[in-house]
Amino acid sequence: MICVPRLRRLAASLLIVPFLLMVSPAAALAQQAPKPPKTAAQTKSEASRLKSAADVLMDQDRYADALVLYERAYELAGDPALLYNEGRAHEALGDYPKALEKLEIFEQQAPPSVRALVPGLQELIKDLRGRMATLVVKTNAPNARLLLRQKDEGIVGSERRFPTRAGQASVEVSADGYETFRREVDLSAGTTVTVDANLSLKKRDALVVVRTTPSADVLFDGKALGRAPLQVHATPGSHELVATANGYYEERVAMTLALGDVRDVELEMRKTPGIASKWWFWTAIGAVVVGGVTTAIVLTKEKPHSNGTFGTGSVAGP
């Protein structure tokens, strides 16, 4: 017998379950709802906070970290004054071309009231140009990439010009399938230096091309490769190629390969003689089928001839 209070508790629990099922999706949707966009005042405040933090980092000579915050602040506020700060951070990092780019954009976009806060802008731009050189890189390799002072400058193409800071510079040009080109160059201020990066194809493993007549099974260093014609890549050193075919003698070819070698192996397979032509066939007991009739043949080894009882003279007739 079930008491009434217990029935009431059971009924209440059954009512709660559907209610939770109805509420849970709504709660999930509420959690997934996107945050409302920031107001203009909030965005400006965030940009100001980032700019202040970047200024502190600049005073601590942490130029790369400061640059990141200046860039984020500019993305939020679009204030041209931040371009000037970005330019000074690039200058401190020795990236004069990027510094010049930012300062020239600042000069174009900043209102007169903001440009007036930087009275030495023209002298700064002139000074940066005087600390730069132009590097021209030419290459024969497709899709070659340039590393200039260990910095990836992207695809070269057949020719590309790079404004860069003057002084010693490492130039590295690389492309798939080619040996990497490396050179140290001296870039004097105000000059244009051309580097011809002619890349050489990489020497790869040796290649062996096998053809046989007729087609034969090929083993290379004991490993079955399939039937000729075929190709096999091999490391430098000594190797052995074996070709086999039914009814033909086995052919063996020893070879020594160097890096980048291409070796053509053409084999004319030699037929083995038929069984009837082998001398030892006739020294055994066998059966020969002739005209559909099996005839037993007993073969004996022939004895040496004796001299008999005749002399060495001639025999007279009757």
CATH code assigned at 87: 1.25.40.10
Residues 180 and 253 in one domain: no
* CATH label of the domain that carries residue 237: 2.60.40.1120
pLDDT for 136: 97
Whether 121 and 48 map to the same domain: the answer is yes
Q: Are residues 64 and 126 in the same domain?
A: yes
If asked whether residues 53 and 66 sit together in one domain, one would say: yes
pLDDT at 302: 41
**The pLDDT value given to residue 230:** 94
Q: Is the pLDDT reported for residue 297 higher than 50? A: no
Is 230 among the domain residues? yes
Q: What percent of the chain has pLDDT over 70?
A: 75
> In residues, how long is the chain?
318
Q: What token pair was written down for 200? A: 């050489």
H or E element at residue 242 = strand 237-244
Domain presence at residue 20: no
Amino acid at 99: A
Half-sphere exposure for 42 (CA within 13 Å, toward CB): 4
Structural domains counted in the chain: 3
189 and 138 part of one domain: yes
| In a domain? residue 122 | yes
Domain boundary among 144, 167, 197: 197
Residue range 213-256, pLDDT digits in tens: 999 999 999 999 999 999 998 988 999 999 999 999 999 999 99
Q: Residue 14 has what pLDDT?
A: 42
Burial class (CB in 10 A: 0-12, 13-18, 19+), 137: buried
195-209 confidence digits (pLDDT tens): 999 998 887 788 899
pLDDT higher than threshold 90 for residue 180: yes
pLDDT at site 114:
93
* Domain match, 97 and 110 both: yes
- Give the model's pLDDT for residue 39: 87
What is the rounded end-to-end Cα distance, in angstroms, of the chain?
Answer: 148
For 135-166, the pLDDT digits (tens) are 999 999 999 999 999 999 999 998 999 899 99
Mean pLDDT is lowest, of 15-19, 50-54, 89-93, 121-125, for 15-19
Q: Which residues contact 189 (CB under 8 A, 6 or more apart)?
A: 130, 131, 132, 133, 166
* 157 shares a domain with 79: no
Q: Is residue 52 part of a domain?
A: yes
Q: Of 167, 199, 198, 200, nearest to 184 (Cα)?
A: 167
Q: Please, are residues 108 and 130 in contact by the beta-carbon 8 Å criterion? A: no
pTM of the model: 0.53
- Domain assignment present for residue 21? The answer is no
Q: Which of 53, 83, 79 lies closest to 66, judged by CA?
A: 53
Domain ends where: 115, 130, 145?
130
Tell me if 35 is assigned to some domain.
no
**For the residues 183-200, what does the mean pLDDT come to?**
95
List CB contacts of 165: < 8 A, sequence separation 6 or more: 94, 95, 96, 97, 131, 132, 133, 187
What is the four-CA torsion angle of 5, 11, 16, 19, rounded to 10 degrees? -150
Per-residue model confidence (pLDDT) at position 242: 97
User: Whole domain around residue 51: which residue ranges?
Assistant: 40-130
Are residues 95 and 163 in contact, defined by beta-carbon separation less than 8 angstroms? no
Q: Are 85 and 111 within 8 A, CB to CB?
A: no
Mean pLDDT over each residue of the chain, to the nearest integer: 82
Cα 156 to Cα 144: distance, rounded to the nearest angstrom: 6
pLDDT of residue 275: 61
Q: Same domain for 256 and 179?
A: no
89 located within any domain? yes
Tokens (6 digits) for 58: 């600049």
Of 111, 130, 149, the domain-final residue: 130
CA–CA separation, 204 and 261 (whole Å): 8
Same domain for 126 and 138, yes or no, is no
Residues 197 and 138: beta-carbon distance below 8 Å: yes
Specify whether the CB–CB gap between 265 and 209 falls below 8 A: yes
In a domain, 170, yes or no: yes
